[in-house]
Chain A
Amino acid sequence: MRRVVVTGMGLISPLGNDPAAVFDRLLAGDSGIRRLPETFNKRLASRIAAPAEFDGEQRLPAARLRMLDRVSQFALAACGQALADAQLALEDEDANQIGVSIGTGMGGAHSTDNAYQRVYEQQSDRVEPFSVILAMNNAPASWIGIEHGLQGPNLTYSTACSSSAVAIGEAARRIAHGEVQVMIAGGAEAPLTFGTLKAWEALKALAQEDVENPAASCKPFARNRTGLVLGEGAAILVLEDAEHARLRGARLHAEVAGYGLATDTEHITRPSIGGQAKAMALALASAGLAPSDIGYINAHGTGTQANDAVETAAIKEVFGAAAGACPISSTKSMHGHLLGAAGALEFIIAILALQRRVVPPTAHLRIRDPDCDLDYVAEGARQIEALTAVMSNSFAFGGTNAVLIARRA
Chain B
Amino acid sequence: MSPGPTTLEFLRQIIARDFQVDPQLLQPDARLEDFAIDSLGLIEIMFAVEEQFSITVPSEPPDARTPLNTLNDLVRYIDRLVSEQRGATPADEAVP
Interface residues of A (CB under 8 A from B): 61-63, 66-67, 126, 128-130, 133
Contacts and interface: CB of A to CB of B under 8 A. Distances in A.
A130 B47 CA distance: 10
A130 B50 contact: no
Contacts of A133: 40
B53 interface: no
Contacts of A62: 18, 20
Given A129-B44, A130-B40, A130-B44, A63 B51 contact: no
From DSSP, what is the main secondary structure of chain B's interface residues?
helix
A129 B18 contact: no
B30 interface: no
B43 interface: yes
B22 to A, nearest CB: 15
A126 B20 contact: no
B1 to A, nearest CB: 26
A129 B43 contact: yes
A320 B38 CA distance: 61
Interface of B: 18-20, 40, 43-44, 46-47, 50-51
B19 A129 contact: no
Contact of A66 (B44, B46, B50, B51): B44
Contacts of B50: 126
A58 B43 CA distance: 26
Contacts of B20: 61-63
Contacts of A130: 40, 43-44
Contacts, number: 21
A63 B51 CA distance: 19
A63 B20 CA distance: 8
Contacts of A66: 18, 44
21 contacts: A61-B20, A62-B18, A62-B20, A63-B18, A63-B19, A63-B20, A66-B18, A66-B44, A67-B40, A126-B47, A126-B50, A126-B51, A128-B47, A129-B43, A129-B44, A129-B46, A129-B47, A130-B40, A130-B43, A130-B44, A133-B40
A129 B39 CA distance: 12
Nearest to A127: B47
Nearest to A66: B44
A124 to B, nearest CB: 10
A129 B43 CA distance: 7
A133 B20 CA distance: 22
Contacts of A61: 20
A17 B43 CA distance: 34
A130 B51 CA distance: 16
Contacts of A128: 47
Nearest to A133: B40
B52 to A, nearest CB: 12
Nearest to B40: A130
Nearest to B43: A129
The 10 A-B pairs at the shortest CB distance, nearest first, are namely A129-B47, A129-B43, A129-B44, A63-B19, A63-B20, A63-B18, A130-B40, A61-B20, A66-B44, A62-B18
Nearest to A61: B20
A187 to B, nearest CB: 26
B71 to A, nearest CB: 18
Nearest to B20: A63
A61 B20 CA distance: 9
